Amino acid sequence: MSKKVSTTLIIPTYNWPEALELVLLAVKRQTLFPDEVIIADDGSTHETKMLVEQFQKDFPTDLRYLWHEDNGFQKSLILNKAVAQAKGDYIIQIDGDCIMHKKFIYDHVSAIERNTYLFGCRVSLKAFCVPKLYQFKTIDFSFFSKALTKRGRSLYLPILGKRYKRQDYLSKKVRGCNLSYWRQDYIDVNGYNEDITGWGKEDTEFVIRMVNNHVYGKRLKFRGIIFHIWHNEFSKKRVTQNTRIQSETINNKIVWCNNGIDKYLNE
């Protein structure tokens, strides 16, 4: 796409400033900066806000902070609020525990297409390395590092990645921590479904509705890489209910969710 597209990087986070610091350090060394970054805080205590304020002093692009009160896992809600406030035409979405390869933003932007969302690879980091990540502010990882699981995902070979084409179905590889899309495509399906609370299915249910609306996915393989910091699993007590909502979306080819972003757009 030849015309420059304005971009917003959205980073959901919750009470993990040590990880968010590494994520923001990775933003600062990108070869291409987004036009703005929004920290979408799902109810953290004041330490996260203080961290963001420190980064705002010398950040290479507009860094904004959005917070709401802690009422459990409400990723769908805080993302809707963030996208509603976003100035970019194109949204790039990661998580607050995902360290970006230095060409991550460039890889997403260079692959933009109309009526298309992009999804990339996640390389998991092992538990033993987490304290050292904090100590040494590590944001670079070698293919040979013992900290990596499924190290093949860390190979950066963008020429090979260009062979991947759009697909009109939901890939099992889609993760909300490495996802990008047109803001208007998000609004056209009313964004994330806020009836989905707690961990599980919030990302894929949203993507399924985009697919139902003829917005198709393209995988960023060998590019658009993130490194996911190990943590304990989230509670899965809402997975059954959330799966039921997703099944209804699939079976009824639903495009629009009733409890979505529209209520924030005119605020």
**Burial (Cβ within 10 Å: 0-12, 13-18, ≥19) of residue 28:** middle
Q: Which of 213, 216, 114 is nearest to 167 (CA)?
A: 216
Q: Which neighbouring-strand residues pair with 65?
A: 39
The pLDDT of residue 199 is 87
- How would you classify the pairing of strands 7-13 and 90-94? parallel
Superfamily of domain 7-264: Spore Coat Polysaccharide Biosynthesis Protein SpsA; Chain A (3.90.550.10)
Locate 226 and state its tokens.
Answer: 């993130």
Q: What is the pTM of this model?
A: 0.96
Contact predicate 63/37, CB 8 Å: yes
Q: Which of 78, 77, 85 is nearest to 195 (CA)?
A: 77
The pLDDT of residue 2 is 43
The rounded distance, in Å, linking the Cα atoms of 45 and 95 is: 18
Phi and psi for 217 in degrees, rounded to 5? -95, 150
**Burial (Cβ within 10 Å: 0-12, 13-18, ≥19) of residue 44:** buried
The pLDDT of residue 3 is 66
The pLDDT of residue 266 is 84
pLDDT digits (tens, 9 = 90+) for 214-249: 999 999 999 999 999 998 876 788 899 999 999 999
The pLDDT of residue 68 is 97
Sign of CA dihedral 263, 118, 43, 234: positive
Q: Which neighbouring-strand residues pair with 151?
A: none
Say how many Å lie between the first and final Cα of the chain, rounded: 32
The pLDDT of residue 27 is 98
The pLDDT of residue 165 is 92
Kindly list the domain boundaries of the chain, sorted by start residue.
7-264
Listed as ranges, residues in the chain with pLDDT below 70 are: 1-3, 234
The rounded distance, in Å, linking the Cα atoms of 63 and 14 is: 17
Contact predicate 59/242, CB 8 Å: no
The rounded distance, in Å, linking the Cα atoms of 120 and 220 is: 4
Contact predicate 142/156, CB 8 Å: no
* Residues ≥6 apart with Cβ < 8 Å to 102: 26, 29, 30, 31, 140
The pLDDT of residue 54 is 98
